[in-house]
């Protein structure tokens, strides 16, 4: 199971010098499972934020250009930062391609309608019906379990406005949990209504709300149990969360607690705040790693960046390189080739990587202890 991160931000895309190393595109993670034992194993995509556009360009260098490609899109929820890349997804407009879209069932409208509305006049010049590819929509319950070929998929509900769901993928002993977007499960129950005035963190909860939040947290811990990698919404700092607990996002502290309770091997900080600079993300990661080391925790901790590649197998994570230290120079062309982080500075200068323009320092690599 190989993962590649195409978008790692939350809320809205933020291109610019301050986000050049970690990247500014919104949520999109590619999962490829094809190997010698299952050469036809499916290509999966977690969320369709603006990172999907560049993934689509890479896919058009393969069978998708000929109209013979198939992929499965799992959408955590249909807020804009998780679907706004879809109208710009090139393979969608190639006849013959097949896409299976999975998302939580809504009570008010069909899933296809939700996706079509963002491309409706006057918001976008190309109607959703212009998509020439074959689209199949599957509506999921909060606790859905199903298979996509040899990949086992499990879901659970999250604490987010109008409700999101998390996914877990298991394949040949490799496992990843994708948990975004969600607030912690202690201060406020977020459902299908706008919360104008949230309670203060620490205020007493209604017993029914507390029971729902406990059940929700238990479900997330079960979903992440023993996972090799947990990708988790860590958009807020504790100070930011205290100001906006009803926005439905967590802090690294919350993600670490869930991952440790679940006995996960590694945690990926994800859905970075749009205002969080590369330097601030460096500092956040270093601080929490130091805290984990001081507490004797074996949980490996990483922060997602565009172009990051993870190779999961039954034996654990492969080599994980840190974020590049050199940002993209102004005016540097972006290639449609997939970003790849060189193992050493001598391997070349890939203009599509976040560190294009100069060779990347080798830097230490890290592996998750088995």
Residue 232 belongs to domain with CATH number: 3.60.15.10
The number of beta carbons lying within 10 Å of the beta carbon of residue 342 is 17
Residue 329 has pLDDT above 50, yes or no: no
Q: Is residue 358 part of a domain?
A: no
pLDDT value of position 106? 83
| For residues 315-340, average pLDDT | 53
Q: Is residue 363 part of a domain?
A: no
Range from 2-6, 59-63, 115-119 carrying the lowest mean pLDDT = 115-119
pLDDT value of position 37? 75
Measured CA to CA, the distance from residue 116 to residue 68 in angstroms comes to 23
Could you give phi then psi for residue 258, rounded to 5 degrees?
-65, -50
pLDDT value of position 327? 56
pLDDT value of position 150? 93
Measured CA to CA, the distance from residue 305 to residue 299 in angstroms comes to 19
**How confident is residue 201, by pLDDT bands cut at 50, 70 and 90?**
confident
**How confident is residue 314, by pLDDT bands cut at 50, 70 and 90?**
confident
pLDDT value of position 353? 35
Q: Is residue 17 part of a domain?
A: yes
Residue 10 has pLDDT above 80, yes or no: yes
Tally of structural domains, the chain: 1
Q: Is residue 114 part of a domain?
A: yes
Structure tokens at 62: 């393969």
Residue 344 has pLDDT above 60, yes or no: no
| For residues 113-119, average pLDDT | 90
Q: What angle do CA 6, 11, 15 make, to 5 degrees?
A: 55
Q: Is residue 353 part of a domain?
A: no
Q: Is residue 87 part of a domain?
A: yes
Residue 355 has pLDDT above 50, yes or no: no
Q: Is residue 370 part of a domain?
A: no
Q: Is residue 361 part of a domain?
A: no
Q: Considering only residues 29 and 317, tell me which one the structure prediction assigns the higher pLDDT.
A: 29
Q: What angle do CA 309, 91, 13 make, to 5 degrees?
A: 55
**How confident is residue 317, by pLDDT bands cut at 50, 70 and 90?**
confident
pLDDT value of position 196? 83
* Secondary structure E strands in 79-218: 98-104, 134-140, 145-148, 151-157, 165-171, 174-179
Q: What angle do CA 7, 369, 5 make, to 5 degrees?
A: 10
- Pinpoint the alpha helices (H) of the chain: 51-59, 111-117, 207-224, 238-243, 252-262, 278-294
Structural domain of 41: 2-347
**How confident is residue 194, by pLDDT bands cut at 50, 70 and 90?**
confident
Residue 84 has pLDDT above 80, yes or no: yes
- The answer for residues whose C-beta is within 8 angstroms of residue 98's C-beta and 6 or more apart is 69, 70, 71, 133, 134, 136
**How confident is residue 326, by pLDDT bands cut at 50, 70 and 90?**
low
Measured CA to CA, the distance from residue 220 to residue 182 in angstroms comes to 10
* 198 contacts 192 by C-beta, under 8 angstroms: no
């Amino acid at each position: 199971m190989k993962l590649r991160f195409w978008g790692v931000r939350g809320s809205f895309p933020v291109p610019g010098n301050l986000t050049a190393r970690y990247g500014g595109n919104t949520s999109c993670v590619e999962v490829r499972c094809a190997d010698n034992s299952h050469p036809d194993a499916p290509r999966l995509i977690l969320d369709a934020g603006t990172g999907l556009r560049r993934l689509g360009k890479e896919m058009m260098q393969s069978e998708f250009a000929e109209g013979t490609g198939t992929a499965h899109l799992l959408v955590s929820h249909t807020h804009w930062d998780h679907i706004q890349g879809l109208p710009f997804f090139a393979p969608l407009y190639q006849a013959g391609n097949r896409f299976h879209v999975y998302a939580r069932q809504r009570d008010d409208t069909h899933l296809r309608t939700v996706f079509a509305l963002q491309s409706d006049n006057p918001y976008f010049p190309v109607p959703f019906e212009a998509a020439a590819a074959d689209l199949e929509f599957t509506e999921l319950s909060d606790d859905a379990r199903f298979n996509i070929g040899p990949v086992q998929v499990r879901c659970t509900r999250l604490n987010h406005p109008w409700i999101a769901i998390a996914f877990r993928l298991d394949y040949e002993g490799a496992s990843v949990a994708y948990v975004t977007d969600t607030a912690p499960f202690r201060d406020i129950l977020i459902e299908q209504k706008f919360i104008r005035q949230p309670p203060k963190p620490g205020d007493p909860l209604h017993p029914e709300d507390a029971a729902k939040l406990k059940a929700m947290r238990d479900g997330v811990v079960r979903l992440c149990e023993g996972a090799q990698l947990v990708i988790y919404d860590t958009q807020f700092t504790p100070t930011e969360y205290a100001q906006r607990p009803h926005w439905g996002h967590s802090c690294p502290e919350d993600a670490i607690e869930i991952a440790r309770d679940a006995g996960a091997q590694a945690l990926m900080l994800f859905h970075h705040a749009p205002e969080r600079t590369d330097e601030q993300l460096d500092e956040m990661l270093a601080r929490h790693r130091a805290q984990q080391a001081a507490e004797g925790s074996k949980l490996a901790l990483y922060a997602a960046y565009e172009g990051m590649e993870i190779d999961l197998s039954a034996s654990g994570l492969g080599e994980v390189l840190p974020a590049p230290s050199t940002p993209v120079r102004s005016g540097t062309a972006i290639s449609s080739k997939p970003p790849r982080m060189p193992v050493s500075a001598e391997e070349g200068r890939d203009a599509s990587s976040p560190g294009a323009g100069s060779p990347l320092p080798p830097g230490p690599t890290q592996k998750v202890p088995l």
